[in-house]
Amino acid sequence: MSQTLAQFAVTPAEQGYSAGHLPLTVSIFGDRSALAAQLAEDADAAGFRLGMRGTLAELLESEARALGEVVLIDVPSVDAAALAALARIDMRAAHSGAQLVVSTSIAALDDVFGCLDQSGAQILVAPTRAEGVIALGRVLGSTPRGRVRELSKQDRLTLLRLTEQVGQLAERLDRVTEAPSAQEPGSVFRFQSPAAAWAGLTGADGSERLVRARTTRAALPDPRLVRRIIRQRQLRSRFFDTELFADPAWDILLDLTAARAEHKRVSVTSLCIASAVPPTTALRWIAQMTEAGLLERIEDDADRRRAFIALSDRAADAMARYFSEVGRDAERLS
């Protein structure tokens, strides 16, 4: 094992933790030393215990050692060795319950996304420091065992700002995932199929009975119409501030609706671009929409290292019915 792979020798007692309230241990791997140092600094400020730290090559050598509860990996470019390391770490994390946070570039995103299909890793694309800190906050917020040590006043202010940022993000995502059950009224996305119609029929003997009326599933709209809507939405940025109309969930749904009607597959990189928000933000929306049942991850049968994103059948049905209703409204106005 290379000497640069260090195990920090600070004990829990020295960090002020009591027995049974140990902090989460974070391991950091990447070839960019400045970024690794920044990640270590932010993780320490957030109350994590720093564990292993090394290069991507050393990540491959670490398979016999426990990596801790959280693993931060920086992989801006990929080769066969890096992809193999990511795939194995993803599987290890899925089995152990460790949380992965992987930073990459837009050029490597499709390959990285294709490798991470087991653990639910957070993927950051060319992240700012703030986005990295938000990712750490999401780890703390989603891990019951996470414990934050006593912090200085400055550290508390830093984490307060972090909490505010995460809260704003969570509030927006909750609009997608709130009340996900198809049976609950008021759900943001109504996944249920149209209610079955019942018709009363009179038999030859004069008796009446109820039968389920046949319903016809709405067809997807002409993809040229959807592409025209997308172009019109993009045109707004020429005249107004882009953030004024940020609606990544709808842009994602529109792009995938057009692609489904065109019988085309959509890569995660393409979908991030279509969302009209920063890639890291788009990936969070994609993850939440997948969890909510709107989207599906589709593995590439020809290349297991690649994966695509598609509408779920229920989401496609909902989009078809939406456009059908819009078309009827237009006819009534004409």
pLDDT at 198 over 60: no
Predicted local distance difference test score (pLDDT) of residue 190:
42
Is the model's pLDDT at 109 over the cut of 80?
Answer: yes
* Domain ranges in the chain with CATH number 3.40.50.2300: 6-175
Given pLDDT bands bounded at 50, 70 and 90, which one contains residue 154? Answer: low
Give the mean pLDDT of the chain: 77
Q: What pLDDT digit, counting tens, does each position of 39-90 carry?
A: 999 998 888 899 989 888 887 776 657 778 899 999 999 998 888 888 989 9
Position 170 scores a pLDDT of 52
CATH class given for the domain over 223-333: mainly alpha
pLDDT-derived band at 175 (thresholds 50, 70, 90) equals low
Adjacent-strand bridge partners of 28: 53, 72
- Does the structure show a pLDDT above 90 at 9? no
* pLDDT top residue among 215 and 50: 50
Q: Report the C-alpha gap between 49 and 66 in whole angstroms.
A: 14
Domain 6-175 is in which class? alpha beta
Q: List the single range of 27-31, 205-209, 254-258, 328-332 with lowest mean pLDDT.
A: 205-209
Whole-number pLDDT of residue 24: 87
Query: Half-sphere exposure of residue 40, counting CA atoms within 13 Å on the CB side?
Result: 18
Dist CA 109 CA 77 (whole Å): 9
Question: Which part of the chain has CATH 1.10.10.10?
Answer: 223-333
Predicted confidence at residue 266, as pLDDT, reads 97
User: pLDDT class for 204, splitting at 50, 70, 90?
Assistant: low
pLDDT score of 19 more than 80: no
Whole-number Å distance between alpha carbons of 86 and 88: 5
- 252-302 pLDDT per residue, tens: 999 999 999 999 999 999 999 999 889 998 999 999 899 999 999 999 888
| pLDDT tens digit sequence for 228-251 | 999 999 898 889 887 777 789 999
Q: How large a percentage of the chain has pLDDT more than 70?
A: 69
Q: What is the pTM of this model?
A: 0.71
111, 78 Cβ separation under 8 angstroms: yes
Helices 223-235 and 248-261 pack at an angle, to 10 degrees, of 150
314: confidence class by pLDDT, cuts 50, 70, 90:
very high
- From the list 101, 93, 105, the residue with the least C-alpha distance to 122 is 101
pLDDT at residue 152 greater than cutoff 90: no
